[in-house]
Amino acid sequence: MAKDKVILTKKGFEELEVKLEYLKTTKRSEIAGQIKIAREFGDLSENAEYDEAKNEQARVEAEIIEIEAIVKDAEIVDADTIDVTTVNVGAKVKVYDKEYDEEIEYQIVGSAEVDLTKNKISNECPVGGALLGKKIGDKVTVPAPGGNLILKVIDIHR
């Protein structure tokens, strides 16, 4: 089965590369030091510090493998060159929600970059998917548990 490409903005790709470098160098070194110290406590079969350090090592190694796979298969979208006549991955889109009488700005990103605290939503989530390809003035209806969410696109920019 072919693996789907992971879509990342250029900035998101660069942030992942920095994180990967940190995990491979600094974090690995820190954990190796923790393991060395824990070994000095004696019997490894009853050594909680050793077990914890080994668990942390396994978690970091799994994260390294995951990030390497994302970076290797990433499709990079340069937000500086995207077409802002329609909503695309990398674009920031301001929408008006009539029900709550509020404007909300989202940035459409790939699933690996989602950060709801910064209003970065995935192109694969219901709202992000519904907004893709829309133009200023378009309305979208997004099915939601509490009823349909109706949004009007009022601005698209980088």
pLDDT of residue 73: 86
Average pLDDT for 102-123: 93
Range of the domain at 25: 6-77
Whether 11 is covered by a domain: the verdict is yes
Flag whether 45 is in a domain: yes
Is residue 1 a part of any domain in this protein? no
Domain limit, last residue, from 43, 77, 111:
77
DSSP 10-74: HHHHHHHHHHHHHIIIIIHHHHHHHHHHHHTTS-GGG-HHHHHHHHHHHHHHHHHHHHHHHHHTE
CATH code (residue 46): 1.10.287.180
Tokens representing residue 134 in the block? 């829309």
* pLDDT value of position 56: 95
For the stretch 63-89, pLDDT in tens is: 999 999 999 988 898 877 888 899 999
Same domain? 57 vs 106: no
Let me know how long the chain is.
158
Q: Is the pLDDT of residue 108 over 60?
A: yes
| CATH number of the domain to which 94 belongs | 3.10.50.30
What global pTM score does this model have? 0.73
Q: Give how far the C-alpha of residue 57 lies from the chain's centroid of Cα atoms, to the nearest Å.
A: 23
Provide the domain count of the chain. 2
1 pLDDT higher than 70: no
Q: In whole numbers, what is the pLDDT of the chain averaged over residues?
A: 90
Q: Do 94 and 145 reside in the same domain of the chain? A: yes
Whether 107 and 48 map to the same domain: the answer is no
Contact 9, 113 (CB under 8 A): yes
